[in-house]
Amino acid sequence: MHPVRRTADSTAAWEIERPPRVSALPGVDMAGFRIRGGGPIDLRAIPHPAVTVAFEFGGRPFDIHGAVGRMRSESLTAGLAFSAFEVRAQDVECVQIRLSPLVAHPVLGLPLAELRGSVIALDDLWGRAAPRLRERLHHTRTWPERFALIDRELTTRFHEGREADPEVAWAWRQIVASRGRARVSDLAGRIGWSRQRTWSRFGAQIGLTPKRAAMLVRFDHAVHRLARGQTPVQVAADGGYADQSHLHRDVRAFTGTTPTAAANEPWLAADERAWPARGGAEHTSG
Protein backbone atom coordinates (compact mmCIF):
# COMPACT_ATOMS: atom_id res chain seq x y z
CA MET A 1 0.00 0.00 0.00
CA HIS A 2 1.25 3.45 -0.91
CA PRO A 3 0.13 6.49 1.10
CA VAL A 4 -0.69 9.25 -1.34
CA ARG A 5 -1.93 12.25 0.57
CA ARG A 6 -2.55 13.26 4.17
CA THR A 7 -4.39 16.56 4.40
CA ALA A 8 -3.31 19.32 6.76
CA ASP A 9 -6.80 19.72 8.22
CA SER A 10 -7.58 16.03 8.54
CA THR A 11 -6.04 12.77 9.70
CA ALA A 12 -7.39 11.06 6.59
CA ALA A 13 -4.82 9.29 4.43
CA TRP A 14 -5.02 7.76 0.98
CA GLU A 15 -3.63 4.39 0.03
CA ILE A 16 -3.42 3.12 -3.53
CA GLU A 17 -3.14 -0.41 -4.87
CA ARG A 18 -2.20 -1.48 -8.38
CA PRO A 19 -2.94 -4.80 -10.15
CA PRO A 20 0.01 -7.23 -10.12
CA ARG A 21 -0.36 -7.67 -13.89
CA VAL A 22 -1.90 -5.82 -16.82
CA SER A 23 -5.50 -6.46 -17.75
CA ALA A 24 -6.41 -9.20 -20.18
CA LEU A 25 -8.04 -6.46 -22.26
CA PRO A 26 -5.88 -3.79 -23.94
CA GLY A 27 -7.17 -0.35 -23.05
CA VAL A 28 -8.19 -1.24 -19.49
CA ASP A 29 -6.41 0.02 -16.39
CA MET A 30 -7.39 -0.22 -12.72
CA ALA A 31 -6.39 1.16 -9.35
CA GLY A 32 -7.70 0.46 -5.87
CA PHE A 33 -8.22 3.30 -3.40
CA ARG A 34 -8.64 3.24 0.35
CA ILE A 35 -9.25 6.38 2.40
CA ARG A 36 -9.14 5.88 6.15
CA GLY A 37 -9.53 8.11 9.20
CA GLY A 38 -10.46 11.74 9.66
CA GLY A 39 -13.41 13.59 8.20
CA PRO A 40 -14.71 13.75 4.65
CA ILE A 41 -12.34 14.69 1.82
CA ASP A 42 -13.63 16.71 -1.13
CA LEU A 43 -11.97 16.07 -4.48
CA ARG A 44 -12.59 17.39 -7.96
CA ALA A 45 -12.66 14.84 -10.74
CA ILE A 46 -11.40 16.24 -14.03
CA PRO A 47 -11.82 14.75 -17.51
CA HIS A 48 -9.55 12.06 -18.89
CA PRO A 49 -9.48 10.45 -22.37
CA ALA A 50 -11.10 7.29 -21.04
CA VAL A 51 -14.47 6.31 -19.70
CA THR A 52 -14.22 6.20 -15.91
CA VAL A 53 -15.99 3.52 -13.87
CA ALA A 54 -15.78 3.24 -10.08
CA PHE A 55 -17.11 0.74 -7.55
CA GLU A 56 -17.30 1.51 -3.83
CA PHE A 57 -17.54 -1.75 -1.90
CA GLY A 58 -16.99 -0.60 1.69
CA GLY A 59 -20.56 0.54 2.30
CA ARG A 60 -19.78 4.26 1.85
CA PRO A 61 -21.53 5.62 -1.27
CA PHE A 62 -19.93 8.40 -3.28
CA ASP A 63 -21.48 11.83 -2.77
CA ILE A 64 -21.19 13.53 -6.15
CA HIS A 65 -22.15 17.07 -7.06
CA GLY A 66 -21.29 19.70 -9.62
CA ALA A 67 -22.34 20.46 -13.18
CA VAL A 68 -23.76 16.92 -13.30
CA GLY A 69 -26.18 17.74 -10.47
CA ARG A 70 -26.19 15.70 -7.26
CA MET A 71 -26.15 11.94 -6.86
CA ARG A 72 -25.30 9.47 -4.13
CA SER A 73 -24.28 6.08 -5.40
CA GLU A 74 -21.96 3.14 -4.79
CA SER A 75 -21.00 3.11 -8.46
CA LEU A 76 -20.41 5.70 -11.14
CA THR A 77 -19.74 5.88 -14.84
CA ALA A 78 -18.31 9.09 -16.32
CA GLY A 79 -18.23 9.54 -20.08
CA LEU A 80 -15.48 11.17 -22.09
CA ALA A 81 -15.10 14.92 -21.54
CA PHE A 82 -17.46 15.00 -18.57
CA SER A 83 -17.82 18.31 -16.76
CA ALA A 84 -15.53 18.46 -13.71
CA PHE A 85 -17.41 17.39 -10.60
CA GLU A 86 -16.85 17.12 -6.85
CA VAL A 87 -16.62 13.82 -5.01
CA ARG A 88 -16.90 13.67 -1.21
CA ALA A 89 -15.26 10.58 0.24
CA GLN A 90 -14.80 9.24 3.75
CA ASP A 91 -13.62 5.78 4.84
CA VAL A 92 -13.93 4.64 1.24
CA GLU A 93 -12.77 1.41 -0.40
CA CYS A 94 -13.18 1.46 -4.14
CA VAL A 95 -11.79 0.36 -7.48
CA GLN A 96 -11.50 2.90 -10.28
CA ILE A 97 -11.34 1.61 -13.83
CA ARG A 98 -10.30 3.53 -16.91
CA LEU A 99 -11.69 2.14 -20.14
CA SER A 100 -10.56 3.11 -23.59
CA PRO A 101 -13.72 4.11 -25.49
CA LEU A 102 -12.99 1.17 -27.80
CA VAL A 103 -13.43 -1.14 -24.81
CA ALA A 104 -16.14 0.88 -23.07
CA HIS A 105 -18.46 0.64 -26.06
CA PRO A 106 -19.00 -3.16 -25.79
CA VAL A 107 -18.38 -3.42 -22.02
CA LEU A 108 -21.02 -0.86 -21.04
CA GLY A 109 -23.46 -2.15 -23.62
CA LEU A 110 -24.36 1.12 -25.30
CA PRO A 111 -22.97 3.51 -27.93
CA LEU A 112 -20.95 6.14 -26.09
CA ALA A 113 -22.93 8.87 -27.82
CA GLU A 114 -25.71 7.99 -25.36
CA LEU A 115 -23.34 8.54 -22.42
CA ARG A 116 -21.37 11.52 -23.76
CA GLY A 117 -20.08 13.67 -20.90
CA SER A 118 -22.64 12.60 -18.34
CA VAL A 119 -22.04 10.91 -14.98
CA ILE A 120 -24.46 8.15 -14.02
CA ALA A 121 -24.57 5.13 -11.71
CA LEU A 122 -23.26 1.96 -13.33
CA ASP A 123 -26.32 0.25 -11.85
CA ASP A 124 -28.38 2.14 -14.44
CA LEU A 125 -26.45 0.37 -17.20
CA TRP A 126 -25.81 -3.07 -15.73
CA GLY A 127 -28.88 -3.44 -13.57
CA ARG A 128 -28.61 -6.07 -10.82
CA ALA A 129 -25.19 -7.18 -12.08
CA ALA A 130 -23.57 -4.06 -10.59
CA PRO A 131 -24.65 -4.59 -6.95
CA ARG A 132 -23.85 -8.30 -7.26
CA LEU A 133 -20.30 -7.42 -8.33
CA ARG A 134 -19.96 -4.92 -5.46
CA GLU A 135 -21.07 -7.60 -3.02
CA ARG A 136 -18.46 -10.02 -4.35
CA LEU A 137 -15.79 -7.32 -4.11
CA HIS A 138 -16.80 -6.68 -0.50
CA HIS A 139 -16.30 -10.33 0.41
CA THR A 140 -13.06 -10.74 -1.56
CA ARG A 141 -10.12 -10.54 0.81
CA THR A 142 -7.20 -9.27 -1.29
CA TRP A 143 -6.68 -6.58 -3.90
CA PRO A 144 -5.23 -8.96 -6.52
CA GLU A 145 -8.36 -11.08 -6.21
CA ARG A 146 -10.56 -8.01 -6.61
CA PHE A 147 -8.71 -6.87 -9.71
CA ALA A 148 -8.94 -10.38 -11.18
CA LEU A 149 -12.68 -10.50 -10.45
CA ILE A 150 -13.28 -7.22 -12.27
CA ASP A 151 -11.03 -8.24 -15.14
CA ARG A 152 -13.08 -11.40 -15.71
CA GLU A 153 -16.32 -9.42 -15.65
CA LEU A 154 -15.01 -6.86 -18.15
CA THR A 155 -13.57 -9.52 -20.45
CA THR A 156 -16.85 -11.45 -20.52
CA ARG A 157 -18.85 -8.34 -21.30
CA PHE A 158 -16.38 -7.22 -23.96
CA HIS A 159 -16.68 -10.49 -25.88
CA GLU A 160 -20.47 -10.45 -25.57
CA GLY A 161 -20.72 -6.84 -26.79
CA ARG A 162 -20.32 -5.16 -30.13
CA GLU A 163 -16.93 -3.69 -30.91
CA ALA A 164 -16.35 -0.36 -32.59
CA ASP A 165 -15.85 -0.23 -36.35
CA PRO A 166 -12.20 -0.90 -37.32
CA GLU A 167 -12.09 2.48 -39.05
CA VAL A 168 -13.27 4.25 -35.89
CA ALA A 169 -10.77 2.31 -33.79
CA TRP A 170 -7.96 3.29 -36.17
CA ALA A 171 -8.93 6.97 -36.04
CA TRP A 172 -9.04 6.95 -32.21
CA ARG A 173 -5.61 5.32 -32.02
CA GLN A 174 -4.17 7.89 -34.41
CA ILE A 175 -5.45 10.69 -32.20
CA VAL A 176 -4.02 9.07 -29.06
CA ALA A 177 -0.66 8.20 -30.65
CA SER A 178 -0.22 11.79 -31.84
CA ARG A 179 -1.13 13.14 -28.37
CA GLY A 180 -4.05 14.96 -29.90
CA ARG A 181 -2.05 16.60 -32.66
CA ALA A 182 -3.27 14.45 -35.56
CA ARG A 183 -4.87 16.43 -38.39
CA VAL A 184 -8.44 15.33 -37.94
CA SER A 185 -9.30 16.72 -41.37
CA ASP A 186 -7.08 13.99 -42.87
CA LEU A 187 -8.63 11.07 -40.98
CA ALA A 188 -11.60 10.59 -43.28
CA GLY A 189 -9.41 10.49 -46.39
CA ARG A 190 -7.05 7.95 -44.88
CA ILE A 191 -9.95 5.76 -43.75
CA GLY A 192 -11.61 5.93 -47.14
CA TRP A 193 -14.92 7.24 -45.80
CA SER A 194 -16.62 10.53 -46.48
CA ARG A 195 -16.07 13.23 -43.88
CA GLN A 196 -19.73 13.08 -42.90
CA ARG A 197 -19.68 9.30 -42.38
CA THR A 198 -16.43 9.48 -40.39
CA TRP A 199 -17.74 12.19 -38.06
CA SER A 200 -21.08 10.41 -37.64
CA ARG A 201 -19.70 6.94 -36.88
CA PHE A 202 -16.87 8.25 -34.69
CA GLY A 203 -19.26 10.44 -32.72
CA ALA A 204 -21.76 7.62 -32.19
CA GLN A 205 -19.18 5.07 -31.03
CA ILE A 206 -16.64 7.25 -29.21
CA GLY A 207 -19.07 9.84 -27.90
CA LEU A 208 -17.13 12.85 -29.20
CA THR A 209 -16.33 14.32 -32.58
CA PRO A 210 -12.76 13.63 -33.77
CA LYS A 211 -11.92 17.30 -33.15
CA ARG A 212 -13.22 17.22 -29.57
CA ALA A 213 -11.46 13.89 -28.96
CA ALA A 214 -8.14 15.37 -30.12
CA MET A 215 -8.72 18.39 -27.88
CA LEU A 216 -9.31 16.10 -24.88
CA VAL A 217 -6.20 13.97 -25.51
CA ARG A 218 -4.04 17.07 -26.00
CA PHE A 219 -5.45 18.60 -22.80
CA ASP A 220 -4.71 15.43 -20.82
CA HIS A 221 -1.03 15.49 -21.73
CA ALA A 222 -0.83 19.22 -21.09
CA VAL A 223 -2.46 19.19 -17.65
CA HIS A 224 -0.24 16.35 -16.42
CA ARG A 225 2.84 18.27 -17.55
CA LEU A 226 1.55 21.31 -15.68
CA ALA A 227 1.11 19.13 -12.58
CA ARG A 228 4.74 18.03 -12.89
CA GLY A 229 5.85 21.66 -12.63
CA GLN A 230 6.31 22.75 -16.25
CA THR A 231 5.27 26.29 -17.04
CA PRO A 232 2.20 27.10 -19.16
CA VAL A 233 4.48 28.77 -21.71
CA GLN A 234 6.58 25.61 -22.06
CA VAL A 235 3.57 23.29 -22.15
CA ALA A 236 1.81 25.37 -24.79
CA ALA A 237 4.89 25.52 -26.99
CA ASP A 238 5.55 21.77 -26.81
CA GLY A 239 1.98 20.51 -26.71
CA GLY A 240 0.61 21.59 -30.06
CA TYR A 241 -1.12 24.76 -28.89
CA ALA A 242 -1.10 27.90 -30.98
CA ASP A 243 -0.08 29.97 -27.96
CA GLN A 244 -0.51 30.20 -24.19
CA SER A 245 -4.00 31.67 -24.47
CA HIS A 246 -5.04 28.62 -26.53
CA LEU A 247 -3.84 26.35 -23.70
CA HIS A 248 -5.64 28.55 -21.17
CA ARG A 249 -8.93 28.22 -23.09
CA ASP A 250 -8.69 24.44 -23.34
CA VAL A 251 -7.81 23.97 -19.66
CA ARG A 252 -10.70 26.21 -18.62
CA ALA A 253 -13.06 24.36 -20.98
CA PHE A 254 -12.31 21.01 -19.30
CA THR A 255 -11.67 22.05 -15.69
CA GLY A 256 -13.32 25.44 -15.21
CA THR A 257 -10.03 26.77 -13.80
CA THR A 258 -6.78 28.34 -14.97
CA PRO A 259 -3.71 26.26 -15.89
CA THR A 260 -2.02 27.30 -12.61
CA ALA A 261 -5.01 26.16 -10.53
CA ALA A 262 -5.44 22.97 -12.54
CA ALA A 263 -1.81 22.02 -11.91
CA ASN A 264 -2.59 21.71 -8.19
CA GLU A 265 -5.62 19.45 -8.52
CA PRO A 266 -5.35 16.61 -5.94
CA TRP A 267 -6.87 14.29 -8.55
CA LEU A 268 -3.74 14.70 -10.67
CA ALA A 269 -1.46 14.03 -7.71
CA ALA A 270 -3.32 10.75 -7.19
CA ASP A 271 -2.92 10.02 -10.90
CA GLU A 272 0.84 10.01 -10.65
CA ARG A 273 0.68 7.27 -8.00
CA ALA A 274 -2.31 5.32 -9.30
CA TRP A 275 -1.07 5.16 -12.89
CA PRO A 276 2.69 5.74 -12.50
CA ALA A 277 3.65 4.45 -15.94
CA ARG A 278 0.94 6.19 -17.87
CA GLY A 279 2.48 9.52 -18.91
CA GLY A 280 -0.77 10.86 -20.32
CA ALA A 281 -3.28 9.04 -22.49
CA GLU A 282 -1.27 6.01 -23.56
CA HIS A 283 -3.32 3.64 -21.43
CA THR A 284 -6.41 4.57 -23.41
CA SER A 285 -5.05 3.41 -26.73
CA GLY A 286 -6.47 -0.08 -26.76
pLDDT confidence of residue 277: 59
- The candidate with the shortest Cα–Cα distance to 80, out of 30, 125, 121, 114, is 114
- Cα–Cα distance between 89 and 76 in angstroms, integer? 13
CATH number corresponding to 2-160: 2.60.120.10
Statement: residue 129 has pLDDT above 70: yes
Residue 201 pLDDT > 80:
yes
In the predicted structure, residue 14 carries a pLDDT above the cut 80:
no
Confidence of residue 43 (pLDDT cuts 50, 70, 90): confident
What is the DSSP annotation of the chain?
Answer: -EEEEE-TT---EEEEE--SS--SSTTEEEEEEEEESSS-EEEEE---SSEEEEEE-SS--EEEEETTEEEEESEEEE-TTPPPEEEEESS-EEEEEEE-HHHHHHHHTS-GGGTTT-EE-THHHHTTHHHHHHHHHHH--SHHHHHHHHHHHHHHHHHHS-PPPHHHHHHHHHHHHTTT-S-HHHHHHHHTS-HHHHHHHHHHHHSS-HHHHHHHHHHHHHHHHHHTT--HHHHHHHTT-SSHHHHHHHHHHHHSS-HHHHTT-HHHHHHHHHSTT-TTTGGG--
Average pLDDT, stretch 25-45? 84
First to last CA, the chain: 28
As assigned by CATH, the class of the 166-284 domain is mainly alpha
- Output 173 or 278, whichever has higher pLDDT: 173
Q: List the domain boundaries for the chain.
A: 2-160, 166-284
Look at residue 161 and tell me whether its pLDDT is greater than 50.
yes
Q: Residue 6: pLDDT above 50?
A: no
